[in-house]
Amino acid sequence: MLGPKLGRGHQTRVPGGGHLCPHTAIDDHPRLAHTETPSDEQAATNAAFPRRAQAWFSTHGITIHRALRDEEAHHPPYPSEAGRHHALTVFLDWHDFHRPHTGIDGQTRASHVTNLSGQHT
């Protein structure tokens, strides 16, 4: 049984902060990521994410053969929805286009997707 001391009572509450439920798909070779932050959590919106992700990867020449799901990512509250969205955008840009990855000889994830050239500066 969880109460305030053991459950969520210790979390910081941020007035107007709300919450964010990002949907992310990551390709297993270049680790290129597609993330959406839907404005609602309706069943139809959530259920359509795999189709939208598949379409996004397809525009980059990536074919999806199978998928794994993990719905356990959590992060402390942000002061606002705009702040949360900005932090996610900055992280994805850094992760996909600027962070060197040792598993691919210090190159970026995006460098392994040939038709991304010129689409990002």
What would the pLDDT profile of 85-112 be if each residue is shown by its tens digit?
A: 888 888 888 888 888 888 788 888 888 7
Mean pLDDT computed over 13-27 = 70
pLDDT averaged over every residue in the chain: 75
35: tokens are: 């993330």
pLDDT over threshold 50, residue 16:
yes
Q: State how far the alpha carbon of 32 is from the alpha carbons of 17, 101, 107, in Å.
A: 29, 12, 12
- The 10s digit of each residue's pLDDT in 48-66 is 998 999 999 999 888 888 7
Q: Which residues contact 103 (CB under 8 A, 6 or more apart)?
A: none
Q: Residue 38 has which token pair? A: 């839907």
In this structure, is residue 59 part of a structural domain?
yes
Q: How many domains is the chain built from?
A: 1
Instruction: Give phi and psi for 42, each to the nearest 5.
Output: -65, 150
The answer to whether residue 1 is domain-embedded is: no
pTM for this structure? 0.49
Residue 15 lies in a domain: no
Cα–Cα separations (whole angstroms), residue 31 to 9, 27, 37, 47, 67: 36, 5, 19, 23, 13
In a domain, 8, yes or no: no
Is 14 inside a domain boundary?
A: no
Q: How confident is the model at residue 73 (pLDDT cuts 50, 70, 90)?
A: low
What is the number of alpha carbons within 13 Å of residue 27 lying toward its C-beta? 23
CA distance 40 to 77: 18
Going by the DSSP 8-state scheme, the letter that residue 61 receives in this structure is: T
Q: Has residue 16 been placed in a domain?
A: no
Q: Which is higher by pLDDT, 29 or 98?
A: 98
pLDDT at 14 over 50: yes
Residue 71 three-state SS: coil
| pLDDT at site 51 | 92
Q: What percent of the chain has pLDDT over 90?
A: 7
Residue 55: predicted pLDDT:
94
Residue 37 lies in a domain: yes
* Domain range enclosing 45: 23-66+77-116
In a domain, 18, yes or no: no
